[in-house]
Structure 1
Amino acid sequence: MTKTVRSLLSATALFAASGFIVFGAQTASAQAPGSDARMQKERATCDGVQQDRAACLREAGAARQEARRDGLTTPSAPREQVNALARCSEQPGPDQAECEARIKGGARTTTEGSVMGGGVIRETVTPLPAQPAR
């Protein structure tokens, strides 16, 4: 009898553990990039953003396709800064230095907003020297 109870308890514990493993794998794969569940979540997100819904759905579909090809990556922080500074190089002369100051941040730069909210706004205040009176 003791051996039967022990075997039954072992079998029950093994069954429960395998259930947790399978459930955990399903939960992890449900949000994996390129999965159907992830796509449904992103489609639902398109209803709550300030972006055009059609454009949002196109981007979600493109991200899903890229994820299935294992081409969807998240850049490192240094790479993000290199990309941002490269965009500044497209600005005309005086604006380029101001753009770089906004990207690099500093004591006079504030950042607010989010991509989901419609954009990240960086503002840098540059004091100008007083102009002589005429």
Structure 2
Amino acid sequence: MPTFQPRSTARFSTLVGSLLLTACAFISINPASAADAQPGSNYEKERAACLNGSSNQDRATCLKEAGAAREEAARGKLNDPAQTQYRQNALTRCKALPDADRIECEKRIDGSGVTQGNPMDGGVLRENVTIVPGTLSK
């Protein structure tokens, strides 16, 4: 019959307590936080990339970084000048298009539609489908 060892019980209790605190920290993150409501929030996309392996990081590190970025965005402290410049460059490229196409281009840049690929694979493809009703001919 195993003997009771108080020292190992104390360690086990400490471990369980630490795990519970960690779990509470993860549970307390509200998916509908202010950071997610802000335009340009990438948390769900970053989390999906972590889970499907396309982030080029190990899963644990990737999820930790995505969560940290989300918290900083909620505090208003996440500001990436390079991303702002990339967006401005993309919108500038849209200006060369005719008005109807320019509006659709700007919608794609602002996140409307479906985005595939990444720069490491050779490019980003943004697709937005607009249904235009046809006219009947007599």
With normalisation by structure 1, the TM-score equals: 0.38
Higher RCO structure, 1 or 2 (CA under 8 Å, sep 6+):
1
Which one has a bigger Cα radius of gyration?
A: 1
Structure 2 length normalisation: TM-score? 0.37
